[in-house]
Structure 1
Amino acid sequence: MFNKKLFYIGFIYFFSGLPFGFFYTFIPVFFRSEGIDLKTIGLFSIAGLPWSLRLLFAPFIDRYFYKSFWMGLSLIGISISIFALSFFTPATVGFFIFLFFLTFFSTLFDTASDGFVVEWIPSEILGKANGIRISAYRISLIIFGGGIVAISHYLGFKIIFYILSLITFLSGIFLIFNSFLKVSSKKVSISFTSQFIEPLKEILKRDRVFLLLFFVLTYKIGDALLGAMVYPFWVDRGFNRLEIGLISGTLGSVFTILGSLLGGYLTSLWSIKNSLLILGFFQSFSNLGYTIASLPYLPKETVYFASFFESFSGGLGTAAFLTFLTNLCKREFSSTQYAVFSTLFNLSLTFSRTFSGYGVSYLGYTYFFLITFFISLPPLFLIFWIIKDN
């Protein structure tokens, strides 16, 4: 029974990573390969806004139907969205609408799946389940990010849309009609005040709360600004889709996983203050790698190194930051407060990516990448203000 449950957890979180890899890796390469300008590529990042609004959807998913129904319905919605995208010219209004629908249904899927784990997995195997869900999600990012970019080198873009649409549709049907996954959660009537207002009031009562919220908003902003233009840069530098998919998308994701594992280990040894400072500095410093790699007449191998260093360092910083966010949450308000902080964090990623195309268009890659390094530094100084010495 337990092995079967672990299998389904891996299955579910494998599909949780599909829209994110597709949106943040495949779509920028697709756009730039089709000649879409950098401003438009950046602006289309606003279609990822639903990922920042999970807090709005959670109460409905908790109150109505089975979690497996919501997950299955979401996958069918993702399938329809991807299929519809194949019929629109890139970067048109219609394309944006269905890209927005894609991230909307992805948000529903993620919200339902996280709640499903809480309801369905016994505490004695929760550790194993968490390991499997993280691994499955990361593998999915590799396959549906760099993997499909590499495959598109041989199959073309159109067939990729069809393949993803088919597998998500069939998987959605499978989840909806799978009786093994139908778990009836306890329908408890929770007041709006208790569910939303009290956790927010507790946050706002903290010392230097606005500095804290500003730090959450900006800690990863330099990384996000750079990341939005990495794949267009690879295209403009003359790399083919096979190289982009295998080196930046796939191997880069592997280095991110390694960085996350090392960052998690170091964070467990160090104080959270030192972890945010040291690992955050490496996260910022890695932006200089792309700054150097964007200089003319340097060999291709320079871009390879910049990619691996940036991916690895980004994993280091993310591990420290997620630990920090978790520690910010009071136990009695854990879910809601984490949703508040993660919403704030995701909003900064979405909007910074949205305007990154303008930065490259006016400044060029080299100066833009250099500026992202300097933008990433001020949040590190805030750490001295918001975290008391241990």
Structure 2
Amino acid sequence: MIKKYHKEALSPSRRKLLLIALLYFAEGLPFGFIYVSLPVFLRTEGLDLVKIGLLSLAGLAWTAKPLWAPLVDIWGRKYYWMIIALLGLMVSVLGLTFLPLNSPFYLALVFLACFFSATLDIAIDGYTIEMVSPKEMGPVNGVRVASYRVALIFSGGALVALSDFLGFKLSFVLLVLCFLFLALLILGTKDFHSASPQRDTKSIREAYFNPLRELLSRSGALWLIPFVLLFKVGDAMMGAMIYPFWVDRGFSRAEIGLISGTLGTVFSISGSFIGGFWIKSLGIRRALWLFAALQALSNLGYAYAALPGKGKVEVYAASIIESFTGGLGTAAFLAFLMGLCRRDMSASQYALLSTLFSFSRSVAGALSGFGAEHFGYATFFFYTFWAALPAFLLIPKVGGLISEK
């Protein structure tokens, strides 16, 4: 089955794109629940802010994915892990819905939900890399990012809005039913049941060390780690300060939610989708150059909008442009990361690369407040443009690491 996928035409079939859309919608659901819906529910129930903030530590499960990703590669088929993860999410979310907040098991359930969500990520990312050829990476990543973000909206803001009519408990039960439906759909769809490529692994130790060793053994791999760390740094630094900037400029919550939140998400999804299909004709390497340039230049739009005397129109335009180009850059970058991974080590290698990327994004976001506080928004946003440029120097070094045939 895997070989059949790899010999398909250069354009992915509609069925394949539909399968990818389904998987990444499933992958995005728990993230939106944990980071949007659950905190709103907990605060509504009277939990104090310190405890709500500490629950974010459960998100370390996504950072720790490389610790068990090799097991997903070598034990069973990827769809086994998807179904187990979705069933685990069902149990976790049900517990978080009906257990009292003072239960000693409540925090453990949050960690468990994050663990199963991270496991679902590993299995779906690994399966996608196995079933997609390099020429299909662009369109697939466009659909992938778009579907993931739609799921974030559904399980985040939309679920919170729905809870205003149905109550939180019934709304969360509907989410649980979504997990059950997706698990049954994966179980009943034979496309997901294909065996992973055989991996020459003789021990658990090799399962853990061989993926990293194989990545670092490639010509030019010395530049790979700094490139993955730096590609989205400028975007991440500015992104962390966008909402505080809107608040400090006096925008209403309705304007922030409609323009920067909802409309920004729509344009980000559009950028990911269009960028993904554009990559098909450009190729991943050229797309990295072009989309990274547009992504960096969009920071200058916010720097201009933050100047004294600029009005709402400039800020609206900056938001739309930044969201769209951010979607383009994400589509190219994720296509590049997927293109780096060997199919017999797909889950392990992608977990390593995505963790590296998440680490730099978190650090850049954490430092951004100091920069904005010290320089002011306009100057800080201008500096984020320059922070995006070092990655350009590394594209010629890392471009040869992937095959586009």
Same fold (TM over 0.5): yes
Pick closer, same or farther for the CA change 1:348–1:137 going to 2, 3 Å: same
Match of 2:390 in 1: 378
Deviation by residue 1:183-228 (Cα, 9 ceiling, x = unmatched): 9897999522442322222222223322221101110111112222
Aligned position for 1:231: 243
**Residue 212 of structure 2 aligns with which residue?**
200
Q: CA deviation at 1:372?
A: 1.5
Please state how far the C-alpha of 1:176 moved relative to its aligned partner: 6.8
Q: What residue number does 2:87 align with?
A: 72
Aligned equivalent of 2:366: 354
Measure how far apart 1:59 and its partner are.
4.8
Letter in 2 for 1:285: L
Task: Report what 2:331 is aligned to.
Answer: 319
Aligned-partner Cα distance in 1 for 2:243–2:24:
25
Aligned to 1:340: 352
The number of equivalent residue pairs is 367
Maintained 8 Å contact 1:222/1:284: yes
Verify: 1:259 aligned to 2:267, yes or no.
no
Shift in alpha-carbon separation, 1:388–1:245, aligned structure 2, 3 A:
same
> Which whole-Å CA distance do the structure 2 matches of 1:59 and 1:52 have between them?
15
1:303 matches 2:318: no
Deviation at 1:46, TM superposition (A): 6.6
| Residue type at the aligned position of 2:223 | L
Q: CA deviation at 1:9?
A: 7.5
> Residues 177, 338 of structure 1: CA spacing in aligned structure 2 closer, same or farther, 3 A cutoff?
closer
Post-superposition offset of 1:370: 2.1
The letter of the residue matching 2:375 is L
2: CA distance, partners of 1:296 / 1:380: 31
Q: 1:77 to 1:29 in 2, by over 3 A?
A: closer
TM-score between the two structures when normalised by the length of structure 2:
0.70
* Offset from partner CA, 1:43-96 (integer Å, 9 cap, x none): 997764332332323355574876423212124424655888x969xxxxx999
1:107 and 2:114 aligned? no
Shift of 1:375: 0.8
Q: Which residue is 2:223 aligned to? A: 211
- Determine if contact 2:123/2:347 at 8 Å carries over to the other structure: no
CA distance in 2, matches of 1:139, 1:337: 26
C-alpha contact 2:70 2:208 (8 A) present in aligned 1? no
Paired residue for 1:57? 68
Instruction: Evaluate the alpha carbon distance shift between residue 239 and residue 161 of structure 1 in structure 2; reply closer, same or farther with a 3 A threshold.
Output: farther
Deviations 1:96-142 (A, max 9, x none): 998766544421332345567799x9x9xx99999976654332233
Identify the range of structure 1 (345-354 vs 264-273) with the bigger mean alpha-carbon deviation. 264-273
Does residue 179 of structure 2 align to residue 167 of structure 1? no
Q: Could you list the per-position Cα deviations for residues 224-283 of structure 1 after superposition, in whole angstroms to 9, with x for gaps in the alignment?
A: 122222223333333333333332222212212222233223323335433222211111
Equivalent in the alignment of 1:137? 148
For 1:103 and 1:194, the matched residues in 2 are separated by 27
Q: Aligned partners of 2:141, 2:294: CA distance in 1, in Å? A: 27
Q: Which amino acid aligns with 2:176?
A: F
Distance 1:80 1:144 in 2: 17
Alignment partner for residue 232 of structure 2, among 220, 226, 250?
A: 220
Residues 278 and 14 of structure 1: CA distance in aligned 2, closer, same or farther (over 3 Å): closer
Partner of residue 376 from structure 2, selected from 316, 341, 364: 364
Amino acid at match of 2:27: S
Out of 230, 244, 252, the residue aligned to residue 240 of structure 1 is: 252
Distance 2:392 2:94 in 1: 41
Aligned sequence identity (%): 42
- Distance change >3 Å, CA 291–CA 23, structure 1 → 2: farther
1:170 shift after superposition:
3.8
- The one-letter code matched in structure 1 to 2:87 is G
Matched AA of 2:60: L
| Aligned: 1:17 with 2:28 | yes
**1:332-364, CA deviations, whole angstroms, 9 ceiling, x for partnerless residues?**
434432232222112212222233333333333
- RMSD, matched Cα: 4.7
Write the distance in 1 (CA, Å) between the matches of 2:68 and 2:291: 33
Work out the CA distance in 2 between the residues paired with 1:376 and 1:26.
32
> TM-score, normalized by length of structure 1?
0.72
Give the equivalent residue in structure 1 for 2:47.
none
Q: What SS does structure 1 have at the residue aligned with 2:68?
A: helix
Is this contact kept in 1: 2:69–2:351, CA < 8 A? Answer: no
Taking the aligned partners of 1:272 and 1:130, their CA distance within structure 2 comes to 11
Structure 1: segments with no counterpart, 5+ residues: 31-40, 89-93
SS of structure 2 residue aligned to 1:206: coil
Q: Alpha-carbon deviation of 1:177? A: 8.0
Q: Is the 8 A contact 1:259 1:313 kept in 2?
A: yes
1:387 counterpart SS class: helix
Match in the other structure for 1:35: none
The one-letter code matched in structure 2 to 1:317 is G
Q: Equivalent residue of 1:207, what SS? A: coil
Aligned AA (1:225): M
Match in the other structure for 1:282: 294
Question: How far has the Cα of 1:382 moved from its partner?
Answer: 1.8
CA contact (8 A) 2:142 2:272 kept: no
Contact residue 146 and residue 272 of structure 2 kept, 8 A: no
